Amino acid sequence: MTTALRVAHDECSALDLSPSDATSKVNLLGEHLRALRATGTRQHFGRNEQIFGEGDPADRVCMIVSGTVRLCRHTASGRRHISDFAAAGDLIGFGERPHQSHAAEAVTPVIVTTYRRSNLEQLAGANPKVRSSLCSLLAANLFAAQRQLCVLGCQNAKERLASFLLHLADRMQTQAGELLNLPMGRLDIADHLGLTIETVCRAIAALKADRIVLVPTAHQLILSNVVALRALAQGV
Amino acid sequence: MTTALRVAHDECSALDLSPSDATSKVNLLGEHLRALRATGTRQHFGRNEQIFGEGDPADRVCMIVSGTVRLCRHTASGRRHISDFAAAGDLIGFGERPHQSHAAEAVTPVIVTTYRRSNLEQLAGANPKVRSSLCSLLAANLFAAQRQLCVLGCQNAKERLASFLLHLADRMQTQAGELLNLPMGRLDIADHLGLTIETVCRAIAALKADRIVLVPTAHQLILSNVVALRALAQGV
DNA sequence: CGCATCCTTGACTACCGTCAATTGTAGTGG
DNA sequence: CCACTACAATTGACGGTAGTCAAGGATGCG
């Protein structure tokens, strides 16, 4: 994730989607983590199972091998907010704080490799490249959070959904016209976009009516008019 | 900024506000930057002057000496979003990207010390403490962004204002009952909270009517009932 | 002291949330 | 394999919160 997103926003001329930022994360850390591979523990989680909880001691980090994970918080009044979704290749549970700021839950069946945080830090201490990769990861997460902040602060329901779909297609490296998998349910999308499940449904229905997306099944989409989707996401 | 905010949210029993997280940022970096002091340039900016622009080459970082700065983005459709406000002691313009992701503008008259990014990186390369401070700064910014994400995603206008005021009082180290300075205008607050200026005004008027805040002047507040304000911010 | 800017308040509107009912889907067991 | 069930998604009707438009009041700078 270098300038990928800037390009996607500022120079949105091409018909196909811009290069993924998820990939660079993988490349950055993946190869260096080989040194840790022996110390990692592989774990499986079923749908909706918790990988770690909000407030858990942050002594472990997880590299997602497969599946989709939601990173969420619960407010005192019981409302839920999903900060982000993580997929294969993403490292989660990594922060500077002694406790996890988010819970991680399996949206689909998930396989992760868990490392002791101390091992990772040891590796970072010894290997400057790992260290800078971790820093880049933080920076990438920060940038993603700020982008989402702008989405929630400035956009209406339809625009938020458009932004979300484009971002998802980007991460999944799905080209325009291809089948885009939606691993998460409508409620997850709603809690991520600061909307209700009904509003998400209506926004999807509206995009469908406008022939901007096709909806073969509830968990599969085809972005049939990416230009219009981009225009929406930019509020034009 | 270690667990300060968690404490503020989870164990909100005390009458006075929780310890500031802004302070630790200062302490972390301030002393190490002494080594750079000679290489820094001091600059002054008047109200609404731009310190750096969105998309500017990120070859310089600024330590704020005095005044308040807004960090904002503009969408293609002309809407503005203020990600955060920065005050004395904060380091801004520091990211992993080649270009600034936000514009920095002076809310009040501002004095900053500008350093070449390369100098900072050189210092970080030589001094592990500086390196880890910079990483902590990124992590603190990430945490702050995620907190704000939750505010925008889950809270209504009154709750957002309550969260904002508590956060501001925290950063300014203003105790309950003391005079809290509001350097930014209503429009800035609105663009930060994803509201309109009218809604911000009405939310303030509502808090005033509920005797939760006193409003001596438009730019000064007294949090007269912090307990109620916290309850609001938590959505109770 | 005057003017420009910001703040505040009111009336009206629109978008989104809430509640409710129906349809669709996936997983289970006979 | 199919029926059953539980859950998820969808759609409709309605109401409330916040946005829009507009006007008046306060504030601060020159």
Q: What is the pLDDT of residues B135-158, one digit of tens each?
A: 999 999 999 999 999 999 999 999
**Mean pLDDT (chain B, rounded):** 87
Is residue B27 over pLDDT 60?
Answer: no
Chain A residues within an 8 Å CB radius of B81: 149-150, 153-154
Q: Chain-centre distance of CA A70, in angstroms? A: 8
Measured CA to CA, the distance from residue B140 to residue A97 in angstroms comes to: 9
Backbone angles phi, psi at B63, to 5 degrees: -100, 125
Query: What is the reported pLDDT for A15?
Result: 28
Query: What is the reported pLDDT for A61?
Result: 95
Query: What is the reported pLDDT for B189?
Result: 98
Is residue A2 over pLDDT 70?
Answer: no
Give alpha helix (H) positions in chain A.
Answer: 4-10, 22-30, 117-126, 128-154, 157-171, 186-193, 197-209, 226-233
Query: What is the reported pLDDT for B37?
Result: 75
> What three-state secondary structure class fits B45?
strand
Query: What is the reported pLDDT for B34?
Result: 72
Backbone angles phi, psi at B127, to 5 degrees: -120, 110
Measured CA to CA, the distance from residue A25 to residue A200 in angstroms comes to: 29
Instruction: Please list, in sequence order, all residues whose beta carbon lies within 8 angstroms of the beta carbon of residue A130, skipping any fewer than 6 positions away.
Output: A29, A32, A120, A123, A124
Closest-CA residue to B226 (of B4, B80, B17, B81): B17
Closest-CA residue to B197 (of B185, B207, B206, B183): B185
Give contacts of B 15-34 with A, CB under 8 A: none
Query: Any chain B CB within 8 A of the CB of A13?
Result: no
Query: Any chain B CB within 8 A of the CB of A73?
Result: yes
pLDDT (tens digit per residue) in A95-132: 889 999 999 999 999 999 999 999 999 989 888 888 99
CA distance A67 to chain B (A): 23
Reading the block at residue A89, the tokens are 């290749």
> Model's pTM, two decimal places?
0.90
- CA closest to C1' of D7 belongs to A185
Query: What is the reported pLDDT for B129?
Result: 87
Mutate to test the interface with A, among B154, B189, B193, B199 (most CBs of A within 10 A): B154
Query: Any chain B CB within 8 A of the CB of A81?
Result: yes
Do the Cβ atoms of B234 and A76 come within 8 Å?
yes
Contact flag, residue A185 CB and nucleic strand D, below 7 A: yes
For residues B216 and B179, the answer to whether their CB atoms sit within 8 Å is yes
For residues A211 and A58, the answer to whether their CB atoms sit within 8 Å is no
Measured CA to CA, the distance from residue B219 to residue B197 in angstroms comes to: 14
Q: Chain-centre distance of CA A47, in angstroms? A: 17
For residues A211 and A147, the answer to whether their CB atoms sit within 8 Å is no
Is residue B5 over pLDDT 70?
Answer: no
Q: Is B168 exposed, middle or buried (0-12, 13-18, 19+ CB in 10 A)?
A: buried
Query: Any chain B CB within 8 A of the CB of A79?
Result: yes
| pLDDT > 90 in chain B, percent | 75
Q: Is B226 exposed, middle or buried (0-12, 13-18, 19+ CB in 10 A)?
A: buried
Backbone angles phi, psi at A60, to 5 degrees: -135, 150
Query: What is the reported pLDDT for A30?
Result: 64
